[in-house]
Structure 1
Amino acid sequence: MAPSLRMPFLSLSVDNFISRGAGGHVFHINRNIVLKCPTKFDNALPEQIEEMEESDKKIETEKAVYRVLMEHPHPNIVQCIICVPEGIFLRRMESTLQDRLSQSRTATIPAHTQERWVLQLTSAVAWLEHLGLVHGDLRPANILLDANDSIQLSDFDATVKPGAELMVASEPFCKIGKNFETPPAGPVSEQFSLASCIYTIRFGYWPWHELDPRARVEKLMRNEFPSVSADSVFGDVTTRCWHGEYPSIASVQQDVLSQLGRSVDKDRALMQAVVEEIAAQHPLLRAECEEFIANQARGGSY
C-alpha cells in the first residue's frame, strides 16, 4: 500500500491542514486553536521513517520549551494551551511575518507598525535569553502575527541552551564563518539573526535578496552587509547586531527602547498587563482543547 499521512485525531482531515514544516504539521481545530503534531505516515517508506523519527524529536524539544513558557509567558510569544501525547495545542494566529511582508511589498507597511514589530520581536528574544534559551532559528517564517497585527514568536524545535551547537543554519539569518562554521548559540548568533529580521521588516526583503544563495553566503562570510543608511531609527542597531557588538539581547532591547524614546520600566508594565490578560483567557482555551480531546475519545467530531 502507498504511504499516507496519519492524522493525530480521527476527526481531522486534509481540510484541517494549515502548514507543514521540518518540525511537523499544523492543523486547524477551531477559530481559536491549532494543533502542531509530529509527522506520521502509515505504510511509511524507509526515508519517511527517518523523517518521522526526526519530527518526533523536534516536537519533544518544542514541548519542553513551551512547558517553560507556560510558567513564564510573554505577550509576544505564541501561547501554548496544553501539551498532549499527540502534539501541542496553540493559540491560532493570522499569518507569518514572511507572508505579511511578501503581500505588502507594493503597499508600504506604516513606519509605526514596523517599529512596533521590531520592539516586540526584540522583547520576545530577550525574554528567551532571560529564561536561559536561544531560539536558534529566528527568521520571518517562524514569526507569526496575531489578530491585532502583533508579533508572536513561534517554532521552538531548534531552541537550545546558550553555548550549545546550533541545530540549523538558515541564511541570511545565521552568522556563517569563513569555513562555513556557525558560532555557538548565544548573544552573537541570536543578534545576527535579529539584525537580519530587523532589516527585512524595515526594507521589505531579505539582506542581499537580489543575489543567488551562493553569492549571498559569500557576502555574509566576508561580513559584508547591505546599506542601512535609509533606516535612521534602527540602522545603527542593525549594523551593531550583525557585527555582534552587544553583550546580550537585553542590551539590544534597551537600545531599541532608547531609539523609540521609551523606558524599560514602562515597557515591563505594559507587558505585565498583557500577560495577565493572556492568563485570564487560558482556562477557556484549555477547556476548548479538553472538550475536543474528549470528543475524539468518544469517536465523535468537533
Structure 2
Amino acid sequence: MTSNIIKLPGKISAYTFLSRGAVGWVYQINDRIALKFARELDSEEFAKENDMFDLFEKHPPCPHVIQSFLRLPNANFLAFMSGGSLDDRLRSHQIRDGHFGKVLRVVKTEPVELVERWLRELCGAVVWLESLGYVHGDLRPNNFLLDGRDHLKLGDFDCAEKVGEPSSGNGAPWARVLGEDADEVGARRGSFGINGPRTEQFAIGSNLYCMVYGLEPYEDRDDRGPIIVKLLRDMKFPELRDGHLDSIISRCWRGRYRQLKDLLEEVEAISGMTPSSEAMSISREYLDDYRNECQALVEDGLLGNMSRSANPISTPKGVRGPDSRKEAS
C-alpha cells in the first residue's frame, strides 16, 4: 500500500518549526509569514481550508480572522502570529500532572480587560463567518492565534461546515451532545444537532471559561473523557462565579442567545474597545508585497519538486478601505 504521507521538503526544515496540527506542519518563514504544509498528499481537509480562504477573499476581510497570502494544493502561506496560540498562553500559566494530565493549579489568569477583548474578537470572527453561511466547527484555544499586540485571530478552517446542516460535532468541552432536557431536540436527541447559533455559542462559552479561569472546563478532574461528555449532555457545568463574564459563559452553555449577533452586541457593550485598540486587517498594498515574497520562495524551490509542478491555486485580493495599515506582529 502506498503511503499518502508527504516527505517534508528539505528547505522547509531549515526554518523554525511552530506546530503540527491534524492536517499540516506549520513553520515560521520570517517575522511576517508562516507556512502551513500538508501532512498528506491530496488531503481533503487541507483542500477544504484552502477553499474557505478562497471564499474569504470574495469579501472584505475580517480583522479577527488570520489572512492567507498564497495557496497551493499542499501549501498555504499565512500571516505569522508572533504571540503563538491561546492554548500556548494558557499552558504557560498551568501546573499539570504530566504534559497531558489534569491541571493541578493555575498560577496566573489574564486581566479581565484582555479577556473581554479576546471575547469581542472571537465573537466578531464567528459572526463574520456566519454571515458567509458557515460555522467554524472547531473553536478551541489551539485555533486562536495571538499577534504581537495580543489581538486574537481565528485560524484553522478545515472543520468549517455550513449553517443549517447537521453538525459533525467536536470533542468535549467544545461541543455538547443533545440530551433529555433539551427543549428543541426532538429526533435529534443523542446527536450534536444543527450547525448554527446554538452550536457556536456553546463552544464560545467553553472557550470563554478557559480565558477567565485559565483551564478547560473539568480539566482539573481525574476522570475525564466520557464522563465530561455525560456531564455536558446533562447540562451539569463547572461552578461559576458572579462576574459579568461568568453570566455570558452560563448563557452560552444554555443557548440563551437567539442569534450570535445578540451575543456580539452584548460583548461590544461591555468590552470598552476604542478604534485605536481594534485589530486591523493587512492592507491590499502589503498583501500584494507578501504574496510576491511567497511566490519568490516557491520559485526558489522552498516546496521542493512541487514548486516546479504546481501553480498557485489562489492569490489574495485583499479588499480594504483607506484606513488600512500594516498590522504589527
Deviations 1:153-199 (A, max 9, x none): 00100001102233341210112123642112111100100110111
Alpha-carbon separation, structure 1, partners of 2:52 and 2:143: 15
**Residues 31, 218 of structure 1: CA spacing in aligned structure 2 closer, same or farther, 3 A cutoff?**
same
Q: TM-score by structure 2 length?
A: 0.77
Matched residue count: 281
Residue identity opposite 1:63 in structure 2: N
Match of 2:46 in 1: 59
**Aligned counterpart in structure 2 of residue 291 of structure 1, from 285, 293, 296:** 296
Residue identity opposite 1:254 in structure 2: E
Which structure shows the bigger proportion of residues in helix conformation? 1
RMSD over aligned Cα, in angstroms?
Answer: 2.8
Alpha-carbon separation, structure 2, partners of 1:181 and 1:217: 12
Identity %: 30
Alpha-carbon separation, structure 2, partners of 1:151 and 1:298: 29
**Aligned counterpart in structure 2 of residue 237 of structure 1, from 237, 248, 254:** 248
Structure of greater relative contact order (alpha carbons < 8 Å, 6+ residues apart): 2
**Aligned counterpart in structure 1 of residue 92 of structure 2, from 100, 103, 108:** 103
Assess if the C-alpha contact under 8 Å between 2:173 and 2:206 holds in 1.
Answer: yes
Gaps of 5+ in 2: 94-105, 180-188, 308-329
Assess if the C-alpha contact under 8 Å between 1:61 and 1:157 holds in 2.
Answer: yes
Alpha-carbon separation, structure 2, partners of 1:144 and 1:109: 15
- Within a 5 Å distance, the mapping from 1:88-167 to structure 2 comes to 88-94=76-82, 95-104=84-93, 105-167=106-168
Gaps of 5+ in 1: 41-51
- Within a 5 Å distance, the mapping from 1:260-271 to structure 2 comes to 260=271
Q: TM-score by structure 1 length?
A: 0.83
Assess if the C-alpha contact under 8 Å between 1:8 and 1:86 holds in 2.
Answer: no
Alpha-carbon separation, structure 2, partners of 1:128 and 1:164: 15
Alpha-carbon separation, structure 1, partners of 2:213 and 2:137: 23
Alpha-carbon separation, structure 2, partners of 1:4 and 1:222: 41
**Residues 15, 289 of structure 1: CA spacing in aligned structure 2 closer, same or farther, 3 A cutoff?**
closer
Alpha-carbon separation, structure 1, partners of 2:92 and 2:302: 41
Residue identity opposite 1:145 in structure 2: L
Match of 2:213 in 1: 203
Alpha-carbon separation, structure 1, partners of 2:175 and 2:150: 26
Assess if the C-alpha contact under 8 Å between 2:71 and 2:77 holds in 1.
Answer: yes
1:189 aligns with 2:199: yes
